[in-house]
Amino acid sequence: MRLVIQDTYDDVSLWAAKYVKRRIIDFSPGPDNFFTLGLPTGSTPIGMYKKLVEFYKDGSLSFKYVKTFNMDEYVAIPRDHPESYHSFMWNNFFKHIDIDPQNAHILDGNAKDLIGECNAFEEKIKNAGGIRLFIGGIGPDGHIAFNEPGSSLVSRTRVKSLAQETILANARFFDNDLSQVPTQALTVGVGTVMDADEVMILITGAHKAFALHKAIEEGVNHMWTVSAFQQHPRTIFLCDEPATNELRVRTVKYFKGLMELHNKMLEEAV
Amino acid sequence: MAPSSAKGHGYLYQYTNCRILRDGKIIREDLWVRDGRIMNPEVLFFVEKVNADQRIDCDDLIIAPGLIDVQINGGYGYDFSTESQVEEGIKRVSQGVFACGVTSFCPTVITSPPHVYKKILPKIKKRNGSKEGAGILGVHVEGPFIDQEKRGAHPQQLIRDYDNGFQDVLDVYGDLSNVAMITLAPEKQNTPEVIQEFCKRGIVVSVGHSNANLIQGEEAVRSGARFITHLFNAMLPFHHRDPHLVGLLTSDQLPQNRKVYYGLISDGIHTHPAALRIAHRVHPEGIVLVTDAIQATFLPDGTYPFGEQTVVVKGKHSYLKDTNTLAGSLASLDDCVRLFAKETGCGPELALEAASLHPAQMLGIADKKGTLNFDSDADFIMLDNDLNVKSTFISGECVYKAK
Ligand SMILES: [Zn+2]
């Protein structure tokens, strides 16, 4: 496990985007050799998406031979609802880049057979050869995707009922009308993400500091589902300074000492 | 990659590197067009999973809905109210307006005798726009049911009343199927029933060329009228004890949710800039820019005999020969948009919507025209930041490109 600490949110965004770019370019994807990328939604990754779009626009990165798999989507909200993860991905990423629509996979929360949709998603990941790099964010309670506290750490893609707190917190996005707020979501499981060759978790802001502490300084615990990635052989936790507020000084010092090494990962292969 | 056409759909265009006017804002967004309609790119991406067949770099221009002129009397020397000229006139003008960004219009026929209406109206058929010419949304019949004193250039002896109600209307015009809107003076007897009959037929009623007071105007709106023809022109002026038809802009005696639209000739000649600003400040969402352009429009400078009159064209002005009397407007609608934006400081969004969205709403066709919303007809224009028209598209086809 690596912990990469950057000064600010913008630095985190840039580092994450550079890392994704590095990984894609080093893979040298082509028509018979697609790079597979797992993607999150939410406010944390927006800056990273912006940077990736800039790389595409300046010609230094193409998504032509990239397949993407999104972590989750609400059940039964219109695909074009502004709060849907389809809308999020379209507006923040897909509409700006050259990805082939056939290669952008998002769970369909309006599928007639939701379980079938989840199983098919796992199948699509498998057929694509698994995920090379899965990027995730976490909630203040340490959940990854919709694997809320208490979720199984070997779970696969499935239908999840949302916690009452999540539903209440989401009401503000739906005109404060609780009847409009989705109560279920489709989500990849912790096990689905664990299967990726590499995982990068973005954590920014002081309100995520306790979650970061739980994620890396204590044992694996299904009440803090992101802690499972301590056991993943290639996981990077990427955070800003405020997110380190709850970490031990020793932890921070140790990982800052490794920054030179971490930054080498962004450099071009010789 | 699967372009749209390879998946059995039509050829899909993606206009990119542009800013588009949508929902009252100019936003950085691509415009997607297929089969003559504006497409929703999210549906193309997530549902159809197709790419554009062709991406077109727009050089950072603004894309706005095609302009709509609901009052235009002729051009190139042809007058739509003259039977022998109407067909050629429609042909020439409907192509000439491409350069002004106009993609559809209402040819306007002024006060004429009944036998002339019965010959002219059948010749002006509603039609979609194409390379052949801008779309024709239906005729605007201005008169003959107008006021004697406020007749302006309309021939006095042909002005009429409808004392026998709608039967008189039918006797004058004959078949109304090609008519989209009518201007009448609401102070006439039987006006409420006449307006209701027009509304039943889907024809928009406008008040104008009128001596009406505000109460008569309000009564007309309650009966179904929804437009005021060239506000300030050919009507009683605003007076603080009776604001007359101008008062409809701020009346509180109208049915709720009923918006009154009004035409403005913002050519810098027919309506003073201060008057434009007054109208803009009190009722911006009702503005419909019109040219009211006459047959001398699009002609080079010179002296022209039109019927009994001799008209001198000089730049953007036209005079009756040897007088200072204005012969009518030579405005082009894009000029009006630019002038209106400049004089009112309203911003390009409203100025463009006043010549596209608003006329479409007024005519009840905003589901297809006057917007860049998904599923609308792909009638649009490209403009630079000074709102000069660079190209004009009808049903997704380029019909004009500035040199
Ligand atoms: Zn008139």
- Asked whether residue B1 is domain-assigned, the answer is no
DSSP element (H, E) containing B264: strand B261-264
- Asked whether residue B255 is domain-assigned, the answer is yes
Q: Note whether B241 and B325 are same-domain residues.
A: yes
**B317 annotated to a ligand binding site:** no
What distance in angstroms lies between residue B41's CA and the mean position of ligand 1's atoms? 43
CA angle at B178 for the pair B177 and B180, rounded to the nearest 5°:
100
Number of structural domains (chain A) is 1
What distance in angstroms lies between residue B209's CA and the mean position of ligand 1's atoms? 6
Q: Note whether B78 and B200 are same-domain residues.
A: yes
CA dist A35 to B49, B54, B65, Å? 19, 26, 41
User: CB-side exposure of B162: number of CA atoms within 13 Å?
Assistant: 25
Whether residue B30 lies within 8 A of chain A, CB to CB, comes out as yes
Whether residue A119 lies within 8 A of chain B, CB to CB, comes out as no
Residues spanned by the domain of B46: 12-64+372-401
Across the interface, which of A94, A100, A106 has its CB nearest the CB of B1? Answer: A100
Q: Note whether B314 and B387 are same-domain residues.
A: no
Average pLDDT of chain A is 94
Report which DSSP code applies to B121: G
Q: Note whether B297 and B209 are same-domain residues.
A: yes
Question: Which of A153-162, A169-178, B169-178, B361-370 has the weakest average pLDDT?
Answer: A169-178
pLDDT digits 0-9 by tens, A115-135 = 999 999 999 999 999 999 999
- Asked whether residue B303 is domain-assigned, the answer is yes
Q: Note whether B50 and B75 are same-domain residues.
A: no
- Asked whether residue B5 is domain-assigned, the answer is no
Which single residue is written with the structure tokens 């995707």?
Answer: A145
- Asked whether residue A269 is domain-assigned, the answer is no
Q: Residue A41 pLDDT > 80, yes or no? A: yes
CATH number at residue B39: 2.30.40.10
Strand partners, B37: B34, B377
What distance in angstroms lies between residue A124's CA and the mean position of ligand 1's atoms? 67
Structure confidence at residue B201 as a pLDDT band (50, 70, 90): very high
- Asked whether residue B266 is domain-assigned, the answer is yes
What distance in angstroms lies between residue A269's CA and the mean position of ligand 1's atoms? 75
Number of structural domains (chain B) is 2
Query: Is B292 among the catalytic positions?
Result: yes
Q: Note whether B55 and B93 are same-domain residues.
A: no
Structure confidence at residue B316 as a pLDDT band (50, 70, 90): confident
pLDDT digits 0-9 by tens, A84-99 = 999 999 999 999 999 9
- Asked whether residue B4 is domain-assigned, the answer is no
Q: Give mean pLDDT, residues A241-249.
A: 95
Whether residue A123 lies within 8 A of chain B, CB to CB, comes out as no
What pLDDT does A47 receive?
A: 98
CATH number at residue A8: 3.40.50.1360
- Bond preceding residue A45 cis, omega within 30 of 0: no
pLDDT digits 0-9 by tens, A199-210 = 999 999 999 999
Q: Note whether B25 and B111 are same-domain residues.
A: no
Q: Which residues of B touch A101 (CB under 8 A)?
A: 2, 44-46, 48-51
Q: Note whether B142 and B275 are same-domain residues.
A: yes
Q: What percent of chain A has pLDDT over 90?
A: 79
Residues spanned by the domain of A107: 2-264
CATH number at residue B200: 3.20.20.140
What pLDDT does A60 receive?
A: 96
Q: Note whether B57 and B73 are same-domain residues.
A: no
CA distance A244 to A44: 15
CA angle at B220 for the pair B215 and B223, rounded to the nearest 5°:
130
Number of H helices, E strands in chain B: 10, 24
- Annotated active-site residue in B79, B147, B267, B292: B292
User: CB-side exposure of A186: number of CA atoms within 13 Å?
Assistant: 28
What pLDDT does A132 receive?
A: 98
Cβ pair B2:A100 closer than 8 A: yes
Average pLDDT of chain B is 95
- Asked whether residue B6 is domain-assigned, the answer is no
Query: Is A207 among the catalytic positions?
Result: no
Question: Which of A80-84, B150-154, B304-308, B339-343 has the weakest average pLDDT?
Answer: B304-308
- Asked whether residue B387 is domain-assigned, the answer is yes
Q: Note whether B39 and B100 are same-domain residues.
A: no
Structure confidence at residue B2 as a pLDDT band (50, 70, 90): confident
CA angle at B97 for the pair B280 and B209, rounded to the nearest 5°:
50
Q: Note whether B185 and B106 are same-domain residues.
A: yes
3-state SS assignment for residue B312: strand
Q: Note whether B75 and B39 are same-domain residues.
A: no
What are the phi and psi torsion angles at B142 (to 5°)? -105, 105
Q: Residue B236 pLDDT > 60, yes or no? A: yes
